Amino acid sequence: MAVAASEQQQFYLLLGNLLSPDNMVQKQAEETYENIPGQSKITFLLQAIRNTAAVEEARQMATVLLRRLLSSSLDEVYPTLPSDVHTAIKSELLMIIQMETQSSMKKKM
């Protein structure tokens, strides 16, 4: 589930744009986000959540997006993933929850 650093940086910019007060920027970011394949979204979101050096608002947005993805699109995304990826996602989520120190982040998970 490794992702190139430049792709992850672009994803952080996308998260920032999703939080933008400018509606046009936000709308364009939403369209870009919707075009990312499900497995890639999961990978990017997990890495963003795990990165404690990132801006907390971006981490919170990633948490909300991952929760939405897993709750609303689970039937579309999850079955297409190999079983080892299922295990990796579960392990990663449990590790993130255990290691998280910010109470606001824990609430959003």
Task: Give the pLDDT score at 83.
Answer: 83
Show pLDDT as tens, one digit a residue, over the chain (109 residues). 556 678 889 999 999 999 999 999 999 999 999 999 888 898 899 999 988 888 889 999 999 999 898 888 777 777 777 888 888 888 888 888 888 777 777 777 7
Among residues 38, 37, 16, 40, which one has the least CA distance to residue 28?
Answer: 16
Domains contained in the chain, number: 1
List all residues 6 or more positions away from 75 whose beta carbon is below 8 Å from its beta carbon: none
Tell me the residue type at 62. A
pLDDT at 29 (0 to 100): 96
Is the four-CA dihedral 14, 9, 66, 54 of positive or negative sign?
A: negative
Tokens of 31: 């369209």
Rounded Cα gap, residues 77 and 40, in angstroms:
10
Q: What distance separates the 2 farthest-apart alpha carbons in the chain?
A: 40
Q: What is the residue range of 40's domain?
A: 5-108
Kindly state the DSSP code that residue 4 receives in the 8-state scheme: -
